[in-house]
Amino acid sequence: MTGFSISPTHQPLRRRIRVPADKSVSHRAAILGALAEGDMRVENFLPSETTRATLNTLRSLGAEIEQPEPDTLLIRGRGLRSLREPTDILFLPGSGTTMRLMAASAPARISFLFSTARPHSSGGRWRASPSLCMRWAQPFWTGDGRFAAACNSR
């Protein structure tokens, strides 16, 4: 097996790559653009309920994101420290990917609360999505049945 090394660069990275429209890549491209410093254009973004949840979450944290076309994003990245705590609960309708990626990407100084509730099919009432909560939390359970993460509320 050959080894490789990754070294820091002292110049901006400027590359253009074209990948097929994909939700996983779309989530990650939006998050990376918001965390980076500088402007980023994302083409071939896959619009969906879950990728919209990621965009709305990033906007709630202070990211500047425009969407001139359904499959194009213009993100003004101001760096990790530019994100701020949201003023409201973040609504993630069925987007476990948004929950997992944002929980790992947001700066430690930012606290936020996710809501996984969805409108009930009969209308008017909201219902929680227990499977989404369990799927998201699964990596935090220890082998002996204890939860390995701390959760706080204010």
Rounded to an integer, the average pLDDT of 38-67 is: 92
Round to whole Å and give the CA distance between 120 and 128. 9
CB atoms within 10 A of CB 141: 13
Q: Give the chain's end-to-end CA distance (angstroms, integer).
A: 50
Round to whole Å and give the CA distance between 80 and 75. 13
User: Beta 118-119 vs 114-115: how paired, if at all?
Assistant: unpaired
pTM above 0.85, yes or no: no
Domains and CATH numbers, the chain: 23-140 (3.65.10.10)
Closest CA to 127 of 137, 118, 136: 118
Q: Is 153's pLDDT higher than 50?
A: no
Give 8-39 pLDDT, tens digit per residue.
778 877 777 777 888 999 999 999 999 999 99
